[in-house]
Amino acid sequence: MEFSTEDKGSYTEVSATGRLNMVAAPRLREIVGDVVSAGGKRIVVNLAGTSFMDSSGLGALIGCLKLARQSGGDLRIAAAQPQVTMVLELTSMHRVLTPHRTPEEAFAGE
């Protein structure tokens, strides 16, 4: 899995490409932790390139959300692919991590 971060001005975008599984989950936590440590308050995880997510990946996203909120910020997800959306819906986590269509829409109007 490959990750990249980009400062978009009003938020930081973390793009995840590949399979978000038990191998990649700790790296996602580390990257979001680095963004929060650097003062990032609004984070969007772009899942457009994420073809697969298992429970470890879901756990990482929830952990990242908790980390962002504990620092006074927020984390949102965008562009979730069908398999990722299915995992979110089967676990009812789409209520906590509401998927947005695009990264730009995640914090639009705020």
Going from N- to C-terminal start, the domains of the chain cover 2-101
Give the CATH number of domain 2-101. Answer: 3.30.750.24
The pairing of beta strand 74-78 with beta strand 99-100: parallel
Please say if the pLDDT value at position 109 is more than 90: no
As a whole number of Å, the CA-based R_g of the chain is 12
d(CA 9, CA 87): 30
d(CA 109, CA 27): 30
Please say if the pLDDT value at position 108 is more than 80: yes
Q: Is the dihedral of CA 106, 50, 27, 67 positive or negative?
A: positive
Please say if the pLDDT value at position 73 is more than 90: yes
Element (H, E) at 27: helix 25-37
Give me the amino acid identity at 66: K
pTM for the full predicted model: 0.96
d(CA 84, CA 72): 27
Q: What is the mean pLDDT of residues 62-74?
A: 97
